[in-house]
Amino acid sequence: MSAPSRPADALPGHPHIVRRGDALMIEALRADELARRFGTPLYVYSRAAIEQAARQYEDAARDHPLALRYSVKANSSKAILQLLQRRGWGFDVVSGGELARVLDAGGSADKVVFSGVGKTDAELLAALRAGVQCINVESTSELERIDRLAGGLGVQAPISLRVNPDVDPRTHPYMSTGLRTSKFGIDQAQARQAYARCAQLRNLRVLGIDVHIGSQITTLGPYLDALDRVLELVRDIEHDGIRLHHLDLGGGLGIRYAGESPPAPGEWIAALSERLRARGQGHRALLVEPGRSVVGNSGVLLCRAITLKSTLERHFAVVDAAMNDLMRPALYEAWQAIEPAVLREDGHALRYDVVGPVCESGDWLGRERMLDLREGDVLAILSAGAYGMAMASNYNTRGRAAEVLVDGEQAHLVRERETLDDLLRCERGLPG
Ligand SMILES: *Cc1c(COP(=O)(O)O)cnc(C)c1O
């Protein structure tokens, strides 16, 4: 192995993931060695990178009353939940399963907000029994149901209404959640009446108001528009005699995948805080639910080239990770950088489609990437910390990948690779 010939190059937007000499490093560890030691496909996260992102939110909380609620669905692995819980973060959950995970990781229910457009009675009861901080309610029918369930338990349900501000977040259509045609939230025009209804229901306690307009948002404009809409409503609702204690502005802040330059967390919060002050509302407590911007650029997916094949039309690098491991390219046609774990300069670079073994043409991870590769080489798919492992499935009877958290020179295996026994465990054959 050649000695490092140049200083470590940080990959733009990826703190703590650097190239040192030929080798891609996650903190102090070489990606190719992690792949050898733990096998592939393998998710690897940098603890320092997660903490750096978390710290930016924590610093912003010094300048404005701000409750931090990590959105569990971005990456729900126990080690990551623990890391944030120990820093004092609470959590935003969207299912009873996520609530159970948070409690299992040591999170306290009184820092949990529960969002979601289709919460079942069983999930709502679990949330009420656990004593969550707030349930974000998405329809008037859900409001009546929560009142009834809370009455049955003899408790008052703490609630916010999730309103749909009809704002275009200018992101992928599947990641837009605050347009009028969206399934999420209560229409801006119906929200005032819904709050009035809350005031009549004895088992509800109104805490605040909530919006979440989408994900991978890279400009501040849509957030400020949504905030203005919410503030109009707040004025009307409080005029009706209902006090609101917090404004929950959801998550959605984008990260750099390709050339994007999204605002940093501190800039986002500062802009919201400034707009509040400009509207004479500087005292309002904020709650935010960031997911992607906390973990997205802390993680990579390592995979190994199984086969290199050229057809008449294209060069394919068939790797051992697939759409079941990382769904974003198939689902959103998302672009994520792909870096060789060890740079070759053999002069054999070709324009490859990097694809998985799954039997779907939608199973690709990157298209038309110039790579100098041999079979057996390890590749790292960057920006895989959010909506990677959390969306993984068992399609094609593929066990889910293992996960490693790197902390300086240490690598902690935080999730074992799923085995075939794990996959077959729940199945029952026919009798006879
Ligand atoms: C997904 C989601 C978030 C987090 O979105 P990111 O883009 O990961 O920051 C926050 N709140 C709600 C209600 C969500 O559904």
Three-class SS state of 352: strand
Question: Tokens 């990677």 — which residue?
Answer: 388
Q: Distance, CA 268 to ligand 1 centroid (Å)?
A: 15
Q: Which two tokens stand for residue 387?
A: 């909506």
In the predicted model, what is the mean pLDDT of residues 347-374? 95
The answer to whether the Cα torsion of 376, 382, 387, 389 is positive or negative is positive
What residue spans define the domains of the chain? 8-47+296-424, 115-290
What was the pLDDT predicted at 7? Answer: 54
Atom number of ligand 1 nearest to Cα 217: 7
Task: Count CA within 13 A, CB hemisphere, residue 312.
Answer: 0
Q: Distance, CA 172 to ligand 1 centroid (Å)?
A: 14
Q: Is the CB of 212 under 6 A from ligand 1?
A: yes
β-strand partners of 202 = none
Q: Is the CB of 292 under 6 A from ligand 1?
A: yes
Q: Is 303 a catalytic residue?
A: no
User: Angle, to 10 degrees, between the axis of helix 221-239 and the axis of helix 265-278?
Assistant: 40
Atom number of ligand 1 nearest to Cα 214: 7
The secondary structure of the chain in percent helix, strand, coil, rounded to multiples of 5, reads 30, 25, 40
Q: Is the CB of 252 under 6 A from ligand 1?
A: yes
Q: Distance, CA 108 to ligand 1 centroid (Å)?
A: 20
Is residue 93 predicted with pLDDT exceeding 60? Answer: yes
Atom number of ligand 1 nearest to Cα 253: 9
Cα–Cα dist 220/270, whole Å: 11
φ, ψ of residue 282 in degrees (nearest 5) = -60, -15
pLDDT band at 298 (very low <50, low <70, confident <90, very high): very high
Nearest to 181 by CA among 162, 194, 168, 195: 168
pLDDT band at 62 (very low <50, low <70, confident <90, very high): very high
Residues 6+ apart with CB under 8 A from 200: none
Q: Is the CB of 119 under 6 A from ligand 1?
A: no
* CATH architecture of structural domain 8-47+296-424: Beta Barrel (2.40)
In the predicted model, what is the mean pLDDT of residues 131-143? 96
φ, ψ of residue 41 in degrees (nearest 5) = -65, 150
The verdict on domain 115-290 having CATH code 3.20.20.10 is yes
Given a contact cutoff of 8 angstroms between Cβ atoms, the answer to whether 34 and 341 are in contact is no
User: What tens digit of pLDDT does each residue of 232-279 get?
Assistant: 999 999 999 999 999 999 999 999 999 899 999 999 999 999 999 999
Q: Is the CB of 71 under 6 A from ligand 1?
A: yes
Report which of residues 409 and 182 the model is more confident about: 409
Nearest to 324 by CA among 400, 421, 384, 380: 400
CA-nearest residue, atom 3 of ligand 1:
251
What was the pLDDT predicted at 87? Answer: 98
User: What tens digit of pLDDT does each residue of 201-240 get?
Assistant: 999 999 999 999 999 999 999 999 999 999 999 999 999 9
- Give me the helices (H) in 240-382, please: 265-278, 292-295, 328-332
Q: Which two tokens stand for residue 244?
A: 């609101």
Is residue 2 predicted with pLDDT exceeding 80? Answer: no
